[in-house]
A and B are shown apart, each in its own frame.
Chain A
């Protein structure tokens, strides 16, 4: 496994937060889990996923109980514009002939409530990640990822192409800068942080994918 720089060149604005590459690769591989690792049983409903189960082609280093991938958080150039758009749903077009239910439908509250929700949208041309991994396998699994970010089914975050290239050094956790080393991804707070580290804050969250899984929440340091 070698230090790599992975770039997703985008053809559409990026919605929501910048995603973590390790979780994208895990998702891409999970679609083929039965053929990749036949012995692994899928987690059942309400059953927490054991981190590190999916053998992603990114090196992991154990910190306490967490196998933390050597993969930085996503980096984008300064957005051309950082704004918000809306997506909405309304049952206003409903036709009475199709339903036997002739009651009055409330679209102000309840399950049929109309919505018009804001969505953070950034216009950037690319997202980059620094990883230590196998280029060939990463290319293979990323080929099946058509978009990144939120609301990809609506066309946001459309990836024009994935680019995997060698990087001179491993900048997956920390990267050098004139002001001192910069934190590049969320890490458990118990990790040995380099002297003079900048660009981080203490937080409470998951340091490994799946990042939404509450039983993985712990004291972490994350880039800011």
Chain B
């Protein structure tokens, strides 16, 4: 039995906060199609401009926003939905809050510290990511780094991003980024809508109306590696536990990033190092899950109260506009 860690969220005994840096290295197990747009008929992968030997290079990258959503927010939101038995119970606004961060849509520049405090106590992981309640924006404390391709052009950056033990293990002859760019091509059946269905009299006619459309684009090839990471500023151990739980869930469910995951694209195998090194990650993840379970009824009540529709009272005729009451 490991030592017990302080994950209490009781305001009378504030937990100790510190900054944690998690560095990850992910290897692509299938082609990665994290796209940024199209060029003609071809989809183009996301690239970032970098300065290399005084010049400019466009190198494949994974955006921090994509990593944030797929690896952290979605697993944690799904965990809350399952633990609090919210399946089929959420309004669209609550669903958007949990899975997409919410939107500021109520009038007035109101900041409720009580609401922020309740949010932190009940959903520390959602607060950590930053979100928007209907009436106020809540800042987060999680910084997600972009996925940096392990390639020749990124060597200098990798030496700074990776911990020394990993950076020193980089081979001398890193391959250039262009070596990691591949392509895919699939076909799909497109119905020729110019011929009305009623006119297709037999099977041959039906075949004549079918058309195979080719679609394709670029990928990052299997076996490429990306360095990325997370920085948790002024975080408690329960927030670290949430991150560890989310990353495990993400990996257990395929660990995908980017598009066409249903076709097998974008699978990543991730390993990580945490600074400062700790030995209580599994325990912190267990305590995070236990905490979410313990506050289930309060959490459901919070979601219902925070996203309650304002009651509309209809004024008498001639008394002017309808007014809203919270």
List A residues at the B interface (Cβ < 8 Å): 11-13, 31, 45-46, 80-81, 83, 87, 89, 91, 94, 97-101, 103, 105, 110-112, 121, 123, 125, 144, 146-147, 152-156, 158, 160-161
Within 8 A of A (CB), among B87-105: 87-96, 99-101, 103, 105
B303 contacts A by Cβ under 8 Å: no
* Bound CA–CA A96/B68 (angstroms): 23
With CB as the reference atom, state the residue of chain B lying closest to A160. Answer: B160
Segment at the interface with A among B141-149, B186-194, B265-273, B315-323: B141-149
Contact A105 B68 (CB under 8 A): no
Interface of chain B residues 130 through 175 with chain A (CB within 8 A) = 130, 140, 142-146, 157, 160-161
B96 partner, pick from A112, A146, A158, beta carbons under 8 A: A112
Is B50's beta carbon under 8 Å from chain A? yes
Chain A residues near B93 (CB-CB < 8 A): 111-112
Extra pairs beyond A100-B90, A103-B92, A155-B63 (6, CB < 8 Å): A45-B112, A100-B89, A112-B93, A123-B56, A146-B143, A155-B144
Given A11-B157, A99-B95, A112-B96, do A153 and B142 touch, yes or no (CB 8 Å)?
yes
- With A100-B91, A112-B96 as known contacts, state yes or no: A45 contacts B109, CB within 8 Å: yes
- Is chain A's binding surface mostly helix, strand, loop or mixed? loop
B113 partner residues in chain A, CB cutoff 8 A? 45
- Selected contact of A125 from candidates B51, B89, B100, B234, CB within 8 Å: B51
Q: Which residue of B lies closest to A122 (CB)?
A: B49
Q: Let me know if B48 is at the binding interface, CB within 8 A.
A: yes
**Prevailing SS type, chain B contact patch:** mixed
Contact A97 B144, beta carbon cutoff 8 Å: no
On chain A, the residues within 8 Å of B81 by CB distance are: 98
For the complex, count residues of B whose C-beta is within 8 A of A.
Answer: 47
Q: What 6 A-B pairs have minimum CB-CB distances, sorted nearest first?
A: A155-B64, A155-B146, A45-B111, A154-B64, A111-B105, A160-B160
Is B92 in contact with A105, judged by CB distance below 8 angstroms? yes
From B87, B94, B110, B233, A97 is in contact (CB under 8 Å) with: B87
Bound CA–CA A110/B112 (angstroms): 24
How far in angstroms is the closest Cβ of chain A from B78? Answer: 9
**Minimal beta-carbon separation of A10 from chain B (angstroms):** 10
24 cross-chain CB contacts under 8 A: A11-B160, A13-B49, A80-B51, A81-B49, A87-B65, A89-B101, A94-B96, A97-B88, A98-B86, A98-B95, A99-B90, A99-B95, A100-B88, A101-B90, A101-B95, A105-B92, A112-B92, A112-B96, A123-B51, A144-B19, A146-B231, A154-B63, A158-B145, A158-B146
How many Å lie between the Cα of A46 and that of B109 in the bound state? 7
Do A101 and B91 touch (CB < 8 A)? yes
B144 touches A154 (CB 8 A): yes
Q: When the two chains form their complex, are residues A99 and B145 in contact, meaning their CB atoms are under 8 A apart?
A: no
B92 contact set on A, CB distance < 8 A: 94, 99, 101, 103, 105, 112
Residue of B nearest to A28 (CB): B233
Q: Report the separation of the CA atoms of residues A91 and B91 in the bound assembly, to the nearest whole angstrom.
A: 13
- The answer to whether B234 and A31 touch across the interface, beta carbons within 8 angstroms, is yes
Q: Please measure, in the bound complex, the distance between the C-alpha atom of A155 and the C-alpha atom of B147, giving whole angstroms.
A: 9
**One of B63, B64, B96, B105 near A91 (C-beta < 8 A):** B96
B217-259 to A contact mask, C-beta < 8 Å, 1/0: 0000000000010010110000000000000000000000000
* A153 lies within 8 A of B64 (CB): yes
Contact call B63/A81, Cβ cutoff below 8 A: no
